Structure 1
Amino acid sequence: MGLDCDVARTRAGHIRLIRHTLAILEFILADVSQGVATTRRDPADGEKGWTVLEVVCHLRDFDRIFQSRVRQMLRENEPTLQAYDHERMAIEFRYNEQDLRTALAELHASRREFIALFESLNEAQWQRSAIHPERGRFTMDDALMQVGLHDALHLEQITRTLRGS
């Protein structure tokens, strides 16, 4: 029983984390204009670095992708998940031409759905898994942790970009 409680507590903590990372993102971007969001590039990557807007659009689209993977894991037995080329998506979907506030609102809407999905899972559903083309076996717990880690990496990228160092 103790282990089950620990697992449930850990999952609940990760769900709180993915809720709060968006609040942090809103705070960071509160005073960022569309102009700044489309012109400041990640200094770690020079001229090829993503803008703040491109990162926000990436977060939005990958939130949807992560959610679709979880839904696929619920529908199918051990499915092989599709890999995505995030660089190609940024160009193809013209991330840097989109509206920052709209992208943020869409990310929030997606995240609310995703959190509700995670909160609705029963223990048998938490045990579902898939094959990730780059990482191998991928569990529901992996999916939940991936969202928080992905958010944190990009929050750091956005703050570095806005700071310019």
Structure 2
Amino acid sequence: MTNIDIEHLKFPIGKFSVPETITSTQIQESIEYLRDFPSYLADSVNNMSEKQLDTPYRPGGWTLKQVIHHIADSHMNAFSRFKLALTEDNPAIKPYDESAWANLADASLGIESSMAIIKAVHFKWVALLESMTDDDFQKTYFHPEKKRSQTLAEVTLMYTWHSKHHLAHVHLPSLTEGKI
């Protein structure tokens, strides 16, 4: 497998890039996607076998089960970061080692608990997003690893990308056809 193939498996929808200008239409579309994402994910994994869930989406990559648990972990952190940014002035957020989290004991559990977390977090997150004003979306948090502040508008789009990114992993032919 070539580096191009691996890169496509890592980033099947491409890497996230921040638009120069973020419009209210983009924000609204993101909120709608984040509202529907738990259903999209559930529809995609509900009929998968344990073998498929325990299959890496690419050579050397996480299993689908780990991806689902990662989404729950990541989106819980994102929701907390939104609340921090809305209630504090440019707070520094705490990064975490996603790969280390993906190898903790809970990453080997069935996906039901993380699917429930994703559904609940997105329910609360969308309620928060829908209550936010244009000024709220300009509030920021500081990301120490990126060494810059990020607006909540940017982060909203980034987590829409993140949701689509991992949903694309679920739909890779290698997983659905058991070729890896």
Structure 1 and Structure 2 fold alike (TM over 0.5):
yes
Shift of 1:132: 1.4
Could you list the runs of 5+ residues in structure 2 that have no partner in the other structure?
1-21
Residue 120 of structure 1 is matched in structure 2 by: 131
| d(CA) in 2 for partners of 1:104, 1:88 | 20
Q: Does 1:40 pair with 2:52?
A: no
The one-letter code sitting in structure 1 at the alignment partner of 2:112 is R
Work out which of the residue numbers 29, 33, 49 in structure 2 matches 1:17. Answer: 33
Could you list the runs of 5+ residues in structure 1 that have no partner in the other structure?
1-5
Residue 94 of structure 1 is matched in structure 2 by: 106
Shift of 1:129: 0.8
Return the structure number with greater helix share: 1
| d(CA) in 1 for partners of 2:84, 2:65 | 29
Structure 1 vs Structure 2 CA RMSD: 1.9
Q: Please give the secondary structure, in 1, of the residue aligned with 2:116.
A: helix
Residue 164 of structure 2 is matched in structure 1 by: 152
| d(CA) in 2 for partners of 1:17, 1:30 | 19
Identical counterparts, % of pairs:
21
Deviations along 1:17-42, one digit per CA (max 9) or x if unpaired, are 112332221121121133431x2112
| d(CA) in 2 for partners of 1:103, 1:94 | 9
| d(CA) in 2 for partners of 1:100, 1:76 | 34
| d(CA) in 2 for partners of 1:72, 1:100 | 28
Q: Please give the secondary structure, in 2, of the residue aligned with 1:91.
A: coil
| d(CA) in 1 for partners of 2:141, 2:44 | 34
Residue 175 of structure 2 is matched in structure 1 by: 162
**Structure 1 residues 93 and 75 mapped into 2: Cα distance closer, same or farther (>3 Å)?**
farther
Work out which of the residue numbers 12, 26, 42 in structure 1 matches 2:42. Answer: 26
Dislocated runs of 4+, deviation >6 Å: none
Q: Please give the secondary structure, in 2, of the residue aligned with 1:22.
A: helix
Deviations along 1:65-90, one digit per CA (max 9) or x if unpaired, are 00011111112111112111101111
Q: Please give the secondary structure, in 2, of the residue aligned with 1:113.
A: helix
Shift of 1:11: 1.5
What TM-score results when the alignment is normalised by the length of structure 1?
Answer: 0.84
